[in-house]
Chain A
Amino acid sequence: MILIYAESPDGQLKKVALEAVTYGAKLASAMGTTCAALTIGTVADAGSLGKYGAGKVYNIAGEDVDNQNIAKAVADVAEKIGAEVVVMPFTSTGKSIQGRVAAILNAGVVSGVSALPDLSNGFVVRKPVFSGKAFADTKITSEKKVLSLMGNAIPLEELGAAVDVETIDIDLAPCKVKRLSVEKQAGGIPLPEAELVVSGGRGLKGPENWNVLLELAEALGASTACSRPVADMDWRPHHEHVGQTGIAIRPNLYIAMGISGAIQHLAGVNNSKTIVVINKDPEAPFFKAADYGVVGDLFEVVPKLTEAVKRLKA
């Protein structure tokens, strides 16, 4: 049995939670077993997890959660249904609970996995390491296993039909960490989940010039990112900072403008499927990591690109 923790902040299932269900379903079929998804609290449309491959969907009532009581609940359910593998998204929540769940279950854990395990010689699973500069195929030898899945690592697939949600009777322990409030960012898909990303560097010269980037992002429906100096100078909010010391992303399309392509920047973005680089310096290192390149002044090139995107969409 495989258990997937389908994280649902604010009662909404995350895309990477759906991906984790598809991943769990495929792993279950490779292992000759079935998979179940677990949700906690009131979740809109939890039964739809069946469509992405969950044979069963369990729910635990209770809204008051912190990483300690979630981890305990996930581990309890894993014990109850006899799960050999627990899968969860590698998100801010996953990072808070994966170690706890593994500790409770006495399970080997690999975080941020990017592919299905190879079962031909034990249980070997691939994850990016050295901030995307390499991959590590990691063998888990314990009986129970915990995996957390990177966003956008596997495509979502409809593998079944919606199922009824079963309530599972587990009491959540009182929270020791209290949530006071959440400050939501305005608009846009959160970067780790975004399939299209437009990113700007110091070449934009100042925050007042960001419109040229934002207009392209809007035409594409893309999320926005930036290089580290841009966030350090407060030209853009720091949650947009991608790279080795920012967040690592792997969108389908990453468009970089006015970014030189320093090794620390590349580390966070080089797993993107397609990379477009716009830079006026033909020697910029980023071109070596790019699929498509435009050598030119971004202030001239990008508005033309925005117009061309609009023509495609029209």
Chain B
Amino acid sequence: MKLLVCISQTPDTTANISFKDNNTAFNPDGVQFIMNPYDEWYALVRALELKEAVGQGTVTILNVGPATNDVVIRKGLAIGADDAVRIDTEATSANYVAKQIAEYAKDKGYDAIFFGKETIDFNGAIVPSMVAEYLDLPFVSLAQHMDVNGNTATLKRDIEGGVEVLSVDFPFVLSAAKGLAEQRIPNMKGIMMSRRKPLNVVAAVDVPNTVEVVHFETPPAKSAVKLIDPDNMDELVNLLHNEAKVI
């Protein structure tokens, strides 16, 4: 099994989000960065489990980003990936990233390419299906369970109001949701070994950008909460009905 896991770096979930340069750019000052949770907890771990179950193969991590991402990439190696590739450029849009990944992966013969279902910064859920299209591969999004039997995978994916059961032959592209695997914490040995694992840096290809964030905004602060007497729920219902007009 030759598996590729695409990871991205995102601000920590507790980060206070602010912007700079007249609200045109994310302000990274004081922000702790992590591996995107869907990539780390589900996509990477399920790929490792698959390699372990098959008994041979490689799990390669791919990141599109600058050298400052190496810390997060090394964490992926500490969790158990065999090697890593970083495409050395700023990840400026979904299409830009998808093109870089597809360009790198197109002649490598991966059996499957794993993604997290979305990043927790731009919440796009675009890159996985784009890569699938550029590589002309079948795609299963939001996978929360996978069984593999020979050359066929049976997957469950979350849909509105239920769970869909699908089957697909290798090779394919998958995006991972909660349930696909359990988070693995890197141990000391993994961390030591990760330092010696290869992290190859490759140059980016030229891709024109067609989307660009021109302005960021944080939501207006809520006005103070209206406290209601716990013994007067008729008042709360009245406010919801007549003031908020939601029931």
Chain A residues in the interface with B (C-beta under 8 A): 9, 14, 66-68, 71, 90-93, 95-100, 102-104, 107-112, 124, 127-142, 176-185, 188-193, 195-196, 220, 238-239, 241, 244-246, 248, 252-253, 263-264, 267, 270-271, 273-274, 276-277, 287-297, 300-301, 304-305, 307-309, 311-312
B68 at the interface (CB under 8 A from A): no
Contact A312 B123 (CB under 8 A): no
Tell me which of B98, B122, B218 has the highest count of chain A C-beta atoms within 10 A of its own C-beta. B122
| Bound complex: CA A25 to CA B127 (Å) | 28
Pick the contact of B37: A66, A91, A141, A245 (CB < 8 A). A245
Residue of B nearest to A151 (CB): B160
CB of B128 within 8 Å of the partner chain: yes
Say if the beta carbon of B141 comes within 8 Å of chain A.
Answer: yes
**CB neighbours of A99 from chain B (8 A):** 94, 98, 126-133
Number of A-B contacts (CB under 8 A): 274
B124 and A100 contact, CB distance less than 8 A: no
Query: Taking A99-B94, A99-B98, A135-B216 as contacts, is the C-beta distance between A183 and B122 under 8 angstroms?
Result: no
Closest approach, in angstroms, between the C-beta of B55 and any C-beta of chain A?
26
Q: Which residues of B contact A96 (CB under 8 A)?
A: 129, 139-142
- Report, nearest first, the 10 A-B pairs whose CB atoms are least far apart: A99-B129, A296-B230, A99-B130, A108-B210, A142-B210, A176-B138, A190-B160, A190-B161, A103-B133, A308-B233
Extra pairs beyond A136-B122, A182-B165, A273-B246 (8, CB < 8 Å): A14-B160, A97-B129, A108-B211, A134-B218, A183-B163, A190-B161, A296-B230, A307-B233
Check if B244 sits within 8 Å of A124, measured CB to CB: no
B225 at interface, CB cutoff 8 A: yes
CB-CB nearest in chain B for A292: B226
Chain A nearest CB, measured from B236 CB (Å): 6
Q: Are A293 and B226 in contact (CB under 8 A)?
A: yes
Q: How far is the CA of A101 from the CA of B144 in the complex (A)?
A: 24
Which residues of the partner chain A approach B17 to less than 8 Å between Cβ atoms?
130, 133-134
| B162 CB to nearest chain A CB (Å) | 4
26 contacts between A and B (CB under 8 A): A66-B138, A67-B132, A95-B117, A95-B118, A98-B126, A99-B98, A112-B123, A130-B11, A138-B214, A176-B169, A180-B165, A182-B165, A189-B161, A190-B161, A244-B120, A253-B240, A253-B246, A264-B13, A270-B219, A273-B244, A277-B225, A291-B226, A292-B225, A295-B230, A309-B247, A312-B241
- B107 within 8 A of partner (CB): no
Q: Is the CB of A140 within 8 A of B139?
A: no
Q: Does B166 contact A (CB under 8 A)?
A: yes
Q: Taking A137-B217, A182-B159, A220-B247 as contacts, is the C-beta distance between A309 and B129 under 8 angstroms? A: no
B158 contacts partner chain A, Cβ-Cβ < 8 Å: yes
A195–B244 CA distance with the chains assembled, in angstroms: 13
Q: Which of B131, B142, B226 contacts A95 (CB 8 A)?
A: B142
Residues of B close to A277: CB separation below 8 A: 225
Pick from A98, A104, A141, A239: contact of B125, CB below 8 A: A98
Inter-chain contact A67/B139, CB cutoff 8 Å = yes
Q: Which of B75-129 contact A (CB under 8 A)?
A: 93-95, 98, 117-118, 120-129
CB distance B222 to A291 under 8 Å? yes
Expressed in whole angstroms, the minimum distance between the Cβ of A216 and any Cβ of chain B is 10
Closest to B215 in A: A137
**CB atoms of A293 and B227 under 8 A apart:** yes
Within 8 A of A (CB), among B196-247: 209-219, 222, 225-228, 230-231, 233-234, 236-241, 244, 246-247
Q: Are B132's CB and A178's CB within 8 A? A: no
Choose from B19, B132, B226 the contact partner of A134 (Cβ within 8 Å).
B19
Chain B residues near A309: list those with CB within 8 A. Answer: 237, 247
- B-chain residues with CB within 8 Å of residue A139 when the two chains form the complex: 211-214
Assess the B210–A141 pair: CB atoms within 8 A: yes
CA distance A177 to B141 in the complex (A): 11
Interchain nearest-CB distance for A162 vs B (Å): 25
Chain B residue nearest to A133 (CB atoms) is B17
In the complex, per-residue mask of B172-193: 1 if CB is within 8 Å of any chain A CB, else 0: 1001001100000000000000
Q: Is the Cβ of A294 less than 8 Å from the Cβ of B228?
A: yes
Known: A92-B159, A244-B120, A292-B239. A177 touches B19 (CB 8 A): no
Cα A9 to Cα B138 in complex, Å, equals 20
Check B227 against A295 for contact (C-beta < 8 Å): yes
Across the interface, B247 reaches (CB within 8 A) one of A140, A253, A263, namely A253
Write the nearest CB–CB distance from B92 to chain A, whole angstroms. Answer: 12
Least CB separation from A270: chain B residue: B219
Which one of A99, A253, A311 has the highest number of Cβ atoms from chain B below 10 Å of its Cβ?
A99
A122 to chain B minimum Cβ distance, whole angstroms, is 9
